[in-house]
Structure 1
Amino acid sequence: MTVGPIALDAMGGDFAPLEVVKGAVRASRDFGIDVVLVGDESVLKAQLAGLGEKESERIRIRHAPEVVLMTDAPSVVIRGKRRSSIRVASNLVKRGEASGVVSAGNTGATMVAARFEFGLAQGVERPAIAQVFPNRKHGTVVLDLGANVDCKVGYLVQFGVMGSIYASIVFQKRRPKVGLLSIGSEDTKGNEFSRNVLRAMRDEPAINFVGNVEGRDVFKGDVDVVVCDGFVGNIVLKITEGVATMVVGMVQDALSSEVLSKAGAALVRPSFRRFKKQMDYAEYGGAILLGVNGVCVICHGGSKARAIRNALKRAHEFAVSGIVQQITEKIEASRTAS
């Protein structure tokens, strides 16, 4: 499937615009992806020049004079900064001038811009943020990671459908296993809401539902998709990031301590580098906002060039896969069946 360029919010993120522009250049060079850099035109031209690059067919610039700050309210993209880089980038997707949008800027503003410009995919009640968590096998898709702190039963069922489609693309599995995050694997565990969701998900033919799963199951690799509301999901995400940082730091300290000889440390360092790479969010690029009528990848605010490069690759892959159309078809089939 032939797709257009990916619109990149070049002004969003802690290390924008330099690291964002670097990531765009690398994605274009390494993967042949066309990118539209959205932001202050004079600034972006200077950044490209500093990297020995210039505007071309592969990397174009679309001027956007305003920037949404991390401290801004998400609604500012509608009520205030209508010419902000994330709003303009999202509008390019709406107009068919780009096949997806990537941003490392204000997460709330990115979601609002995408939903305002794209709208929801047909039949979808609420969008959800999904991301691949590392495990000992291939990875686990977890959603929602913060788009919806209060949910209805039907929302989580749809999250299961959308997460299943996402997992089938990234893991190349025909029928990914879907679990519901709870405090125990037994059907009787959880509160009244989670038990109602459990029953509804068992009745959903569009997913390969395996029942309740616990927090530790996210990292075992026995289930492909874990569904939860955005309040719980965001806590899971932040705890995971914190633990990963701590573990990597502890291993680094151990390798540099006097306990290990230099020869012993040299032997284990290649394995540690592989482990560190597996735990690094930059490898996965970013999270995808599922359920909107377009491809939207949300990066960590601290993303540098490698993360941006990989996020652009993911956005391009999702556009090629027709993920929005797949979600629309599955949701419509589910609604018809019920």
Structure 2
Amino acid sequence: MYKVAFDVMGADNGSLVAVEAASKFIKTRKDLYLVFVGNKNEIESGLKKFSIDESRYEILETSEFIDMNGSIMDIRRKRDSSMVRSLELLKDKKVDAMITGGNSAAFIAGSHFILGELPGIARPGFMPTLPTAVDNKLTLLLDVGANLEADIEDIIGYAKMANIYSKSVLKVKNPVIAQLNIGEEKSKGTLLQKEIYKELEANEEINFFGNLEARDILAGKVDIIVTDGYTGNMSLKAFEGASKILMNEIKAQLYKTIFTKLKALTLKKSFNNVSKKFDYKNHSGAILLGVDGIAFKAHGSSDVKSFEATLRMTCNAIENDVLNKIKKGIN
């Protein structure tokens, strides 16, 4: 039985959304046991509306939570917050993994102080999973905001950890890894990016593709894309924003007049397939790679679908023993 601590406080849409997602997802996994962490009254209120078998969960009551306006100092100030208590459960190995939709900066700080980094990893990285134009192919992108900067050792560490994750969780035999850059040529980028290119190219553990431009992130050319957190975060949010706007605009045009509505009926299945394929909510959530524990961050704006996706990714990481494989691989 996999045991997951679920911090249901601190996200934009409140605890009810998180509880509803849990109630739906747990029905698909007979091997999952949840520890709801947060305000007991709110959690119990949600469970009355979205029931879960009582043998499949418990509640860890906390008196505090860290909201989106919080800071990294709240990890010290709010010792009884749902985020801190969830991380402590993971640190003490009382759960196999934890999830939060709360403040990202506080989560990163808490993971550093409570879980600690793996040997050889100085800066952990956020790694989401992205859809691609190639059917049934996903791409891993990191870092997307855990750290604004990254040096050569950080990027090599990201590549190694993501390589192991891709093999064990996504079942890719020989993942292809690229560096995000302003051009494909070896000579492109800053001095640091050129040095990173040389190191990745020379590393025999890595199947290095070369440089990849941002326009090809969703093309399915590679399995893993490594970059610094500043660039990765902007790229991720650009994709999410563009995807949402594009889908809404297509829908608006299809239903603009009675004639386009009639035409839309014949295209409904195709449109739904594309919408489902590139809906980032189906792949929502990012693992913080490089800390000593399986810790996932859901979007602060997560809805039911997003939280379900994060729960699914968390279970997959536990099931495939990804943490121990990464520990072994980087050492």
TM bin, normalised by shorter chain, reads over 0.9
Say if 1:4 and 1:97, in contact at 8 Å, map to a contact too.
Answer: no
Cα offset, 1:74, TM superposition: 2.2
How many matched pairs?
328
Q: CA separation in 2, counterparts of 1:173 and 1:210?
A: 15
Alignment match, 1:40: 39
Q: CA separation in 1, counterparts of 2:96 and 2:311?
A: 11
Q: CA separation in 1, counterparts of 2:170 and 2:311?
A: 18
Alignment match, 2:95: 98
Say if 1:206 and 1:330, in contact at 8 Å, map to a contact too.
Answer: no
Moved more, 140-149 or 22-31: 22-31
Tell me which amino acid in the other structure corresponds to 1:288. I
Alignment match, 2:242: 243
Q: Equivalent residue of 1:82, what SS?
A: coil
Q: CA separation in 2, counterparts of 1:291 and 1:307?
A: 23
Over 3 Å counting, the alpha-carbon distance change for 1:194 and 1:260 in structure 2 is: farther
Matched, 1:290 2:289: yes
Over 3 Å counting, the alpha-carbon distance change for 1:195 and 1:282 in structure 2 is: same
Alignment match, 2:14: 16
Cα offset, 1:210, TM superposition: 1.4
Cα offset, 1:282, TM superposition: 1.9
Alignment match, 1:275: 274
Matched, 1:119 2:98: no
Alignment match, 2:132: 135
> How big is each residue's C-alpha offset from its partner over 1:263-306, in whole Å with a ceiling of 9 and x where there is no partner?
31111122212222222222113111101111111111111122
Out of 104, 107, 111, the position equivalent to 1:110 is: 107
Cα offset, 1:111, TM superposition: 1.7
> How big is each residue's C-alpha offset from its partner over 1:301-321, in whole Å with a ceiling of 9 and x where there is no partner?
111122212211211110121
Query: Runs of 5+ in structure 1 lacking a partner?
Result: 333-338
Over 3 Å counting, the alpha-carbon distance change for 1:110 and 1:269 in structure 2 is: same
Say if 2:169 and 2:316, in contact at 8 Å, map to a contact too.
Answer: no
- 1:143-158 correspondence to structure 2 within 5 Å: 143-158=142-157
Q: Equivalent residue of 1:98, what SS?
A: coil
Cα offset, 1:53, TM superposition: 4.5
Q: CA separation in 2, counterparts of 1:170 and 1:254?
A: 39
Say if 2:169 and 2:322, in contact at 8 Å, map to a contact too.
Answer: no
Cα offset, 1:90, TM superposition: 1.0
Alignment match, 1:216: 215
Q: Equivalent residue of 1:34, what SS?
A: strand
Q: CA separation in 1, counterparts of 2:272 and 2:114?
A: 41
Q: Equivalent residue of 2:67, what SS?
A: coil
Q: For the aligned residues, what is the CA RMSD? A: 1.5
Query: Runs of 5+ in structure 2 lacking a partner?
Result: none
Say if 2:140 and 2:223, in contact at 8 Å, map to a contact too.
Answer: yes
Cα offset, 1:238, TM superposition: 1.4
Alignment match, 1:262: 261
Q: Equivalent residue of 1:5, what SS?
A: strand
Tell me which amino acid in the other structure corresponds to 2:289. L
Q: Equivalent residue of 1:22, what SS?
A: helix
Over 3 Å counting, the alpha-carbon distance change for 1:181 and 1:260 in structure 2 is: farther
- 1:302-317 correspondence to structure 2 within 5 Å: 302-317=301-316
Q: CA separation in 2, counterparts of 1:134 and 1:275?
A: 11
> How big is each residue's C-alpha offset from its partner over 1:51-89, in whole Å with a ceiling of 9 and x where there is no partner?
2447x2212111111010101112311x21111101101
Cα offset, 1:260, TM superposition: 4.2
Q: CA separation in 1, counterparts of 2:326 and 2:217?
A: 23
Say if 1:168 and 1:176, in contact at 8 Å, map to a contact too.
Answer: yes
Out of 78, 81, 87, the position equivalent to 2:78 is: 81
Say if 1:177 and 1:223, in contact at 8 Å, map to a contact too.
Answer: yes
Q: CA separation in 2, counterparts of 1:53 and 1:4?
A: 16
Q: Equivalent residue of 2:217, what SS?
A: helix
Q: CA separation in 1, counterparts of 2:171 and 2:126?
A: 20
> How big is each residue's C-alpha offset from its partner over 1:193-224, in whole Å with a ceiling of 9 and x where there is no partner?
10011111112222111111111221110111
Say if 1:102 and 1:299, in contact at 8 Å, map to a contact too.
Answer: yes
Alignment match, 1:183: 182
Cα offset, 1:42, TM superposition: 2.2
Identical positions, percent: 28
Q: CA separation in 2, counterparts of 1:39 and 1:21?
A: 11
Say if 2:128 and 2:284, in contact at 8 Å, map to a contact too.
Answer: no
Runs of 4+ in 1 over 3 A off after TM superposition: 259-262
Over 3 Å counting, the alpha-carbon distance change for 1:169 and 1:282 in structure 2 is: farther
Q: CA separation in 2, counterparts of 1:326 and 1:283?
A: 26
Q: CA separation in 2, counterparts of 1:16 and 1:211?
A: 42
- 1:54-73 correspondence to structure 2 within 5 Å: 56-73=54-71
